[in-house]
Structure 1
Amino acid sequence: MDAGKRTINDIFNGNRILEIPFFQRAYVWGEDQWQRLLDDMEAISSLNKPYFLGSLILKQQQKPTGSSVGDVRTVIDGQQRITTLNIFFKVLCMKNRQTHLFDRTFRLNDNNIALLHNRHDLQSFKKVLNLTSLDEIGDGDNILAAYNYFKEFLNPDKLDIQNILGSVLFVGIDLDASEDEQQIFDTINSLGVKLTTAELLKNYFFNRDDLASYSEFWEEVFEKDDKTRDYWDMEITTGRLKRTFIDLFFYSYLQIKIQESTLKVKTDDKIEFSKVETLFDSYKKLIKDYHLDKKTILSEIRKYAKLFYENFDHDIIENELIADFGIERINAIIFGLDTSTLIPYVLFILKNVKDEKEKNKIFEFLECYLMRRMVVHASTKNYNQLFTDRLISNEILSLSQLQDYIAKSSDKVNYLPTDADLKYGFENSYLVNKQSAGILYFIESRIRNRKRHGTQLLGISKYSLEHLMPKKWENHWGRLTNKDARDYRNNIVYTLGNLAIITQSLNASIRDANWKTKKKGKGNKDGLIQYSAGIETLSSYLDLEQWNESEIEKRAKFLYNKAIKMWQVEN
C-alpha cells in the first residue's frame, strides 16, 4: 500500500487507465454536490491554496497483453468525485476554447479516454467527453444532467484552470493486486465509504467480457425490475448491524455451502467464514482455497436466491398472521422477534425438504422450540452456532431428526423447555417488551376465532404492549402495608399474566389510572376497551370489576394452557 497526497496530474498521467468496476453502482451525484464543487473551484481559483477533495483508492490490475498503457488501476473509492471532475473540466475547457488542455490531462497518450466507466454510465460518459462543442444533449441520467448543470451555471471568468489543477488534492491510497480492499473500506468508513458485499461480489464474479453470464446469473436474479431490486436492497437491523436482504442471503448461502461434507472445510476456516464483517473475503478464500468453480457457485446461488425471494417476507410484520404453522409464522419470528440467526437453517430446509407436510412440521417444531425458550427467557447466545452450523452440518432434514437432535444434545444451553418450565415462565419471567408482545401475539393468532370477529388481526408490528396493572401502581391502586405483598406486586406486574397487546398505546394519564378508568378511558382519552376489540387474550378480562394479583395468576394460567396446546412437545 502506498498512501499520500495526489494531484490531478498524478492521477491522470497520460499513461494510466482508471477503470471503474463494470458492474459498479451508477453515478449518483446531483445538484447539491455539483453546486458545492463549483463553489469550491471558484474559491480555489481566487485563493490558489491546497484543497482536499476527498479520498481516492486505486487498486493495481494486470496490464492487458500488448497494451500501450503502462498502468491499469481499478477505482475502489472516488468514482463520484473523479467522474464529476472530468465533466467539470470538459465543460470549462470547451467554454474557454482550451479543449487541448482537457485532452492533455484527462486522455491517454493515444487519445483514448483515461477513465473507463461502468456499464450504467459508459455511453453517456463517452458522449460527454467526446463532445467538441457545447451541444444540447438532453437528459436521461445523472452524467448528462451533470453536463447540463455545468453548461448552464459554470462561469469561466471565475475559474482559473491552472490554479485548480495545481491546488486540488486527493488523499490517495494505492493498493497492489493482493491487498484486501474491504479491509480498507472498514478502516476509512469514517469518510463515508460503503460498498455492500453484494457489490463487491458482483465485480468479483463478472467483468466486462461476462455480460451474458452477468445477465443470466445476476441481473435476472437480483436486478430484474424495481420490485426485485427493492426486495434485495431492503435493510433491516440484525443485532448491532444494519444489513440488506441481499447481504443476508449471501451470508446464509455461504453458511450452508461450507457445511458440505465433500468440501472438507477446515474448522478454523468455518469460524472465519462465519464472520459477517469479512463476508466478501470469505467468498474469495473459499473459492480459491477449496478450488471451486465460479460458474457452479453462481448456478447454486441462483437456485437458493429464488427460494429466498419466494419465502422470506419482511412485510409479514405489517400484515395479519395466519393460524397455520408454516413459513409465514417463521417469518414473523425472524423479522418480528429479531431472530435472523434462523435464516440459514430455514433456507437449508426450503432447498432440501421437498415434502410440504414434512416441511411445515419442521417449521411447527421450530416455532414451538423458539417460543417456549422465549417464554422461559432462555439464552439465545448459541443460536448462531445451532442454526448456521450444527443443524446444517448434521443434515437435519426431517421432524424426527430435529426432535432427536434437540433431545439428545449434550449442550444444555439448547434445551427444549418442558411444560413445567413453560408454566414457570408464564408465572415468573421478566421479558423485554418485544418478546412479551410477540408471545401474546402468537397465542392470539392461533386462538382467534376469525369468523366471529369483524376486526381483522393486524400485523405483529402494529400492537403495543400494555401493563394491565401499571408499573406505577402506588398512585391509584391502593397502598399495601405489608412488605411481602408490595414485593410480590412489584414482581408480578412485569409477568405475562399482567401484559396485553392493544392496537394503540394508552395516554399516560390513562395508563397509570385505576382499573375502571383504565378500561373505559376518561374524557377524550380512550381506554383498554376501545383498543382491544377482538383480542381474545384480553377482552374477556375487561369484564372484571377488579384486577389484582389473583386475576393476574389466573390469566397466566389461561395463557399457559393455550400455549401448551399450541406448542406441544413430548415431555
Structure 2
Amino acid sequence: MRAETNNFEFIRDNKTRVIVPFFQRPYVWKKDHWKQLLSDLKDSFKENRSIFLGFIILKENDKKIYSIIDGQQRLTTCSILIKILYDFLEQEQRDELDLRNYLFDKTNIKINHSKLDKKKYEKIITGEIIDIKEEKGIFGCFNYFKSEVERLKKEINLYEFAKFITKEENKLWVIIYLDENEDEQKIFDSINSKGQRLSSTDIIKNALFDKIIKITNENKAMEYYQDYWNNVFDKDEATQEFWNKEVETGRIKRSRSEILLHSYATINGIFKSEHSLSHLSSLYKEHIKNLDENKLKQILKELKDYSEIYRDFPDINKETTFKYEKYELRFFHIISVYNINTILPLVLFLKNLLNQKKSIYKECLYLLEALIVCNILCNVSSKDYNKFFPQIIEKIKGKQDNDVIDSIKEAICEKYKDKESFDKDKIKSKLKCIKNNKKATLILFWIELYKREQKKDYKDDTSSLEYNYTLEHLLPQSWETHWSDIIQDEEEAKEFIYQIGNMTLLKGKLNSTLQNNSWNNKLIRIDGKVNTDLLINKELEDKLWTKTEIEKRTSKFIDDFFKIWNVDLFEI
C-alpha cells in the first residue's frame, strides 16, 4: 500500500482509467453534498488556499486501470463539475487546461461507472444530456452544477477556477493505492468517513461479492450478482426505492433491505438477541469469512427467496383498506400500529416453511396475533419479543405441518402462563376499564370488520374500511353538566366511561362542546351519514344511553373480542 496527496492530475494520464466495481452502491450524493463541495472549492479558490476533500482508495487491476474501492461519490461529483466547467469555457481555454483528458482516454470515458449509473453518467460526460429535469442522482448533480456555475461566472473567473481545481500543486485528496493481495474491505470500512455513510446493506453486499471474487473470479461474481442481487435489489429505480424506503423500528428508522438482512441473520443464528443492529454488517462479515463458494451461493439464493416473500407482505399505509377475512393484512395492521417489527424474522420463516400449507400458515399467524393483542390489552411488555420470537424459530425448525402449530402454542403457553394474557376474567376486566384510546380504537375497528363479515345481508358498503377513525366516549369524560341525571358521582362515572361498550368510532373528532353534550345532541351527529356507515354506530339508533345500555354493549363487545381472538386455543 502507498499513499500520496493528489488531485485530478492522477487521472489525466492517457492510459489511466478508473472502474467502479459492479457491486458498489449507486450514486447517492444529494444537494447538501454538492452545495458543500462547491462552496468549499469556491472559498479555497478565492483565498488561494489548499483544500482536503477526503480519501480515494484504488486497487490496480491492470497497468493504469484501477478499481475504486472508496471515493466513487466524490470522484464522480468532481468529474461532473469539470464537465460543466468544460462546457462553459472557450475551446482555447479547454485545450490549455487539457480538460478533455480528465474525462476521456481517447474515445473512452475515464471513469467506467457501475451498471446502476453507467448510462446516465455517460450521457453527461459525452454531452448527450440536454434538458432532463431531475433533482436527484447523477442527473440531479449535473443540473445543480450547471445552474450554479451559470451564477458563479458572474462572480469569479471560470478559467482560473478550473485551473485551480486541476493544477498539480493543489492537492484535493489523499489517494491510497492498494496492492493485489491487500484486504481492501478492511481499509474501506476504516477510512470511509466523509460523505454519505454506508448502510449495513452496502457493507454486507460489498463484503459478500468481494469474498466471492477472492475465491472465484470477477466474472463468476458478476454472474451471481446478476442472478441473486441485481434482480432482487437493484434492477430498476422502483426496486431500489422499495428497498431503500425507511421504516420505523423502535426509536430509529431502518431501510427495508436492512430489515430483511437482519431477519435473515436472525433466522440463521448470525444475529442473536445480545447483538445490536449497529453490528449487523460486522456479524455478516465474520460469518462469511471462511465460507466456500457453495455456502456463499446458498446465502444469496436464500436472501433472494426471503426477499420475494418480504415484497409480498402487505404494505400498510394511511390509504390501506381492510377486510376481516384478509387475515395476513389484519395481522400486519396490528403489528404496524404497535410497531412490533421483532416478529418479522419469525413470519418470514413461517411463510417460507409453509409456502404450500396456507391453512397452517394462517393458523400460526392467528396464534401470534392473539398473543400480541392480548399482551397489548393486558399491558404485558413486549421487550422480550426480540428473544422470544427467535426461540420459536429454533423450536419449529425441522417440524412439519400441525407440529409447527403445536410448537408455537406450547412456546406461547410456556412463556406467558404466568402473565395472565389469556385469562378470560383478566381480559374482561381490561375491556371494562380501557383508558388507552389507541388500544380501544384498534379493538373497535376489528370488531366492526368482524361484524361486517358476519352480517352477510348488510346492504351498505361492506367491502373494506380505512383505519382513519377517532375514538369517542358516548358518556363523556366531562359528564357533570349534561349527564348528572344518569351518573351520581366521579367514582360511578369512571366505572362506566371507560367500558369498551361506551366507546365508538367517528370519522371526525367532535368539538369539545358537542363531546360533552347531552345524548340526544350527540346522537344527531353520530346519526349523520358519515358515521352510520359503521355497524357499531347503526346499533345506537333509537336508544336511550343509560348505564344498562353501556353494560349490555360492553358484554356484546367482549363476546366479539373472544370470537375474533379465541384465547381458548391456549391451554393455561
TM range (shorter): 0.7 to 0.9
Distance 1:165 1:443 in 2: 69
* Aligned twin of 1:303: 305
Amino acid at match of 2:285: K
Residue of structure 2 in register with 1:378 after alignment: 380
Residue 541 of structure 1 pairs with residue 540 of structure 2: yes
The equivalent of 1:261 in structure 2 is: none
The CA deviation string for residues 507-561 of structure 1, in whole angstroms up to 9 with x for no partner, is 344233332222213xxxxx4644432423343235332355x544443322111
Letter in 2 for 1:545: L
1:75 corresponds, among 71, 92, 95, to 71
Q: 2:60 aligns to what? A: 63
1:305 & 1:12 partners in 2: Cα distance? 40
Out of 418, 421, 425, which is 2:426 matched to?
421
TM-aligned CA deviation for residue 128 of structure 1: 5.4
2:228 alignment partner in structure 1: 217
Q: Which residue pairs with 2:514 in the alignment?
A: 510
In the alignment, which of 389, 405, 414 is matched to residue 408 of structure 1? 414
- Report if the CA contact (8 A) 1:325-1:363 is conserved: no
Amino acid at match of 2:412: I
Partner of 1:344: 345
**Contact 2:482-2:518 at 8 Å conserved across structures:** yes
* One-letter code aligned to 2:329: E
Q: Are 1:463 and 1:502, in contact at CA under 8 Å, matched by a contact in 2?
A: yes
Answer whether contact 1:350 1:359 (CA < 8 A) is retained.
yes
Range moving further from structure 2, 227-236 or 107-116: 107-116
Amino acid at match of 1:504: G
Equivalents in 2 of 1:281, 1:558: separation in Å? Answer: 53
Q: Contact 1:236–1:245 at 8 Å: present in 2 too? A: yes
Decide which moves more: 112-121 or 442-451.
Answer: 112-121
Q: 1:177: which partner in 2?
A: 184
Q: Structure 2 length as normaliser, TM-score?
A: 0.77
- The structure-2 alpha-carbon separation of the partners of 1:16 and 1:360, relative to structure 1 and needing over 3 Å to count, comes to same
Q: 1:181 to 1:62 in 2, by over 3 A?
A: closer
CA contact (8 A) 2:501 2:551 kept: yes
Q: 1:262 — aligned with what?
A: none
> Once superposed, what is the RMSD of the aligned Cα atoms?
4.5
The answer on whether the counterparts of 1:465 and 1:499 sit within 8 Å (CA) in structure 2 is yes
Using the alignment, how far apart are the partners of 1:183 and 1:334 within structure 2?
Answer: 37
Q: 1:498 to 1:43 in 2, by over 3 A?
A: same
Distance verdict in 2 for CA 1:270–1:411, change over 3 Å: farther
What residue identity is the alignment partner of 1:390?
Q
Sequence identity, in percent? 22
Q: Which residue of 1 aligns with 2:493?
A: 489
- Flag structure 2 segments of 5+ consecutive residues without an equivalent: 211-217
TM-score by length of structure 1 reads: 0.77
- Describe the SS at the equivalent of 1:537: helix
**What per-residue deviation string (whole Å, max 9, x for no partner) do you get for residues 153-204 of structure 1?**
474973213444579886879798354766877x77xx7x244433444444
Q: Match of 1:91, as an amino acid? A: D
Are 1:121 and 2:117 an aligned pair? yes
| 2:469–2:505 CA contact under 8 A, matched in 1 | yes
Query: What's the CA shift for 1:349?
Result: 0.8
SS of alignment partner, residue 63 of structure 1: strand
Does the 8 Å CA contact 2:232/2:304 hold for their aligned counterparts? yes
Contact kept? 1:237, 1:243, Cα under 8 Å = yes
Per-residue deviation, 1:33:
8.2
Q: Which moved more, 1:24-33 or 1:231-240?
A: 24-33
1:88 aligns with 2:91: no
Take 1:450 and 1:510, find their aligned partners in 2: how far apart are those partners? 34
1:31-59, CA deviations, whole angstroms, 9 ceiling, x for partnerless residues?
998799778766665x3355868x6454x
Aligned residues: 536
1:313 CA drift (Å): 0.9
Q: Which amino acid aligns with 2:344?
A: I
> Structure 1 residue 443 and structure 2 residue 447: aligned?
yes
Matches within 5 A, 1:150-549: 150=146, 153=150, 155=153, 158-159=157-158, 160=160, 161-165=162-166, 177=184, 179=186, 193-206=196-209, 209=219, 210-224=221-235, 228-258=239-269, 270-271=272-273, 274-288=275-289, 293-310=295-312, 312-315=313-316, 318-324=319-325, 326-353=327-354, 354-387=356-389, 389-395=390-396, 398-409=404-415, 412=418, 416-431=421-436, 433-448=437-452, 449-456=455-462, 458-474=464-480, 476-478=482-484, 485-490=489-494, 493-521=497-525, 527=526, 529-548=528-547
Q: Which amino acid aligns with 1:249?
A: L
* 1:98 matched residue in structure 2: 94
Q: Greater CA deviation, 234-243 or 104-113?
A: 104-113
1:457 deviates by 5.7
* Structure 2 CA distance for partners of 1:369 and 1:108, relative to 1, 3 Å: same
Q: Tell me, what secondary structure is at the counterpart of 1:327? A: helix
Spell out, residue by residue over 1:54-105, the C-alpha distance to the aligned partner (whole angstroms, 9 max, x if none): x6454x45433x5347995422653563343342344356645334634598
Comparing 92-101 and 140-149, the one that deviates more: 140-149
Residues 1:545 and 1:481: Cα distance change in structure 2 (over 3 Å): closer
Task: Tell me the distance in 2 between the aligned counterparts of 1:447 and 1:346.
Answer: 27
